[in-house]
Chains A and B, each alone.
Chain A
Amino acid sequence: MPHVTPLNSLSFARFSSQLAGAGVAFSVGPFVVSLKSSITSVAEGVYQLYGEYPLIAGGADRFVDYYLALEQSQGLRRWHRPQVKFSYDGLHPFKPLPLNQALPLFEWGLNWCVASQMHSYLLIHAAVIERNGVAIILPAPPGSGKSTLCAGLVSRGWRLFSDEMAIISMADGQVVPCPRPIGLKNESIQIMRDYEPQAVISRASLDTIKGTVALMKAPSDSIRRAAETARVGGIIFPRYQTNAEALMTVRSKAQTGLYLADNSFNYSVTGARGFNMLAEVVDGAACLEFTYSRLDDAVRIFDALEWSA
């Protein structure tokens, strides 16, 4: 492993001028992202959330997967309801958004890049956490509390792989970590501030299509160990239910497989290979449903999970 220089080894002034100039490249899990932006909130947010990620210096040895830029719309929009435009190597896949959503737009844009062009992996919409070499996939419909649960568990010693997608290698079925900031919505933001006062949480963006959004920095240990893959031991569907007692129940494998296929970003693209890989992963994992109302219960029960080797 070559010596790693974190992004925040640059001073903020140096970082932001490079960000506004040629762009700054850093690695995020298996990908190298180059980001360009002259927007202050982006510079501040990225420096805060990605400060510990490995900086990738330019030169003959650099391969960047995604050249991204976040720039303010020009013209009248500079003054009247300013907007931010996302671009991917000169392409503009989305409509501009209000300027205060620039930071979440970076996350959404990067999700889009991975989901739409990394078909060398099987990609499933889910959070993934790991402990003792065993990864747990947390797939879930919106409102199930997936991100909150994930944020809670990684604040208590679980390693963050992803809050957004399970990246499964087609070669060996291992999950590949891509630890990135966790998107917290609405009341979850305050819940996490109370639950983990040490957590680094970005300024909130109001009124996005997902409500108020703030980003919580990935734990340092998860960032440092981003190259360590793991096998899938469990697929657990979290279900937040007000005042519920914590309860773990078994789910059918067939149903779990179908759900994951449905919530895969590229199941149809990967064809038979995707099907076989999915079947293998579901086959080798415990499939469970977890109902809960308190994060502490969740941590206690997840910590007690034991996996046969």
Chain B
Amino acid sequence: MMARPLLSEVLINPDRVTGLSLQQWDLLIRQARHADLLARLAYLLAGHNDLPEPAQSHLDSAWAFAQRQAQSVRYEVANIKKALSDLDIPVVLLKGAAYVMAGLPAAPGRLLSDIDILVPKQRMEAVENALLLYGWRTTHHDEYDQKYYRQWMHEIPPMKHGVRGAVIDVHHAILPPTARLKPDSSKMLATAVALAGQMEICTFTPVDMILHSATHLFHEGELEHGLRDLVDLDALLRHFGTQNGFWEQLIERAVTLDLTRPLYYALRYTAQMVATPIPSFAVKAVARLGRPPAALLWLMDFLFERALRPDHVSCDDRYTALARWMLYIRSHYLRMPFHLLFPHLIRKAFKSHKGSTSLAEPTVAKE
């Protein structure tokens, strides 16, 4: 196993910062920024009063940004609720937005780039129309992209609000219909719980929240936020793990939803990277149900040990780029069979080449 990066050590034990040299602080801040965990780090270190001034300044800055973001998430959710309230359907907030709105310990300092929601598949069109009516617009104007999303994906193309610029991803399932794993998202939707005083706005049950996060991370994501997602899982497992019967429920639910493999990975790598406490009976049971064959596990360890580190040069070894690339290919492969995937990847490769200039207008200081 590779040595843990400084950031992981501090996430596991915030007191580790005592006595760090400025040079180590420099590294810690950089790793945290690249892992999208700087604001989370600020939260975890809030009890430490004697941090060196330059480090504190970056932490304060990230914390202010996260606070502002949490505020806009609450505002966005209120707007989404307004737009969708006439449809009389459950609207399930996923991931970051769910943690923020439910006030879970995963929320403080959690950054998010968009709001993900899950709605019943048969009402997708009504949801899209309602959002259009309230000012959201589709972001992919390319006909191929539109078709690709609608035909193959478990979500419609992201929608962006015309005035506020907030982005919403509307899902009807947690994985694409063509994916290797076939969790029945309607079962998760059926048990979703309304947020206090919110009626239609829901979150998954704790176990489903964890299974979704694990599935997203290990079977779908492109892992740019790998460690951050692992930190989410860690916070959720620590929080709910103390409740009576939680682990049994979690395992049972993973079986029902065909998600034992992602759960296995989630428990394995949270324990490995951020030392999440997991009862040994749960470790054994999940290993029996979801552990991949030894050769595959060796490969997965090789890949995830690298890709789940902060995406910063100080955490890379000679295989990191390869590992990230292989996991990227894997995530696509797990999404759809090769005969569907191949033409799509070729097309994407060409397009991203052609379109790369439009990505970043120089956002130099406004003048």
Contact = CB atoms under 8 A, between A and B. Distances in A.
Interface of A: 32, 59-65, 67, 89-95, 97, 108-109, 111-112, 115, 117-120, 125, 142, 164-165, 209-210, 263, 265, 268-271, 273
Q: Is the interface of B mostly helix, strand, loop or mixed?
A: helix
Given A62-B22, A271-B71, 19 more contacts: A60-B21, A62-B26, A63-B22, A63-B23, A63-B52, A67-B30, A89-B30, A91-B34, A94-B364, A95-B360, A108-B362, A109-B364, A111-B364, A112-B365, A118-B57, A119-B60, A119-B61, A119-B62, A125-B365
A209 B26 CA distance: 34
Given A63-B55, A108-B365, A118 B61 contact: yes
Contact of A125 (B24, B33, B359, B367): B367
Interface in B1-43: 21-26, 30, 33-34
A231 B11 CA distance: 39
B224 to A, nearest CB: 11
B186 interface: no
A97 B364 CA distance: 12
A117 B39 CA distance: 11
B312 A89 contact: yes
Interface residues of B, number: 35
A210 B366 CA distance: 11
B49 interface: no
B367 A120 contact: no
A63 B26 contact: yes
B363 interface: yes
B67 interface: yes
B246 interface: no
A95 B355 CA distance: 12
Contacts of A263: 366
Given A95-B361, A119-B65, A60 B367 contact: no
Nearest to A32: B54
A118 B64 CA distance: 10
Contact of A89 (B34, B62, B359, B366): B34
Interface of B: 21-26, 30, 33-34, 52, 54-58, 60-62, 64-65, 67-68, 71, 312-313, 357, 359-367
- Among B65, B68, B359, B364, the one with the most A-chain Cβ atoms within 10 Å of its Cβ is B364
A120 B42 CA distance: 12
A161 to B, nearest CB: 16
26 contacts: A59-B23, A60-B24, A61-B22, A62-B26, A63-B23, A65-B54, A89-B313, A90-B312, A93-B360, A95-B357, A95-B360, A112-B363, A112-B364, A112-B365, A117-B61, A117-B65, A119-B61, A119-B65, A120-B56, A120-B61, A164-B365, A210-B367, A269-B64, A269-B65, A269-B68, A270-B68
Contacts of A93: 360, 363
A120 B22 contact: no
B58 A117 contact: yes
Given A62-B22, A65-B54, A97-B362, A142 B367 contact: yes
Contacts of A125: 365-367
A61 B23 contact: yes
A209 B362 contact: yes
A61 B21 contact: yes
Contact of B362 (A91, A95, A269): A95
Contacts of B68: 268-271
B67 A271 contact: yes
B363 A94 contact: yes
A64 B283 CA distance: 42
Given A94-B362, A108-B362, A125-B366, A60 B23 contact: yes
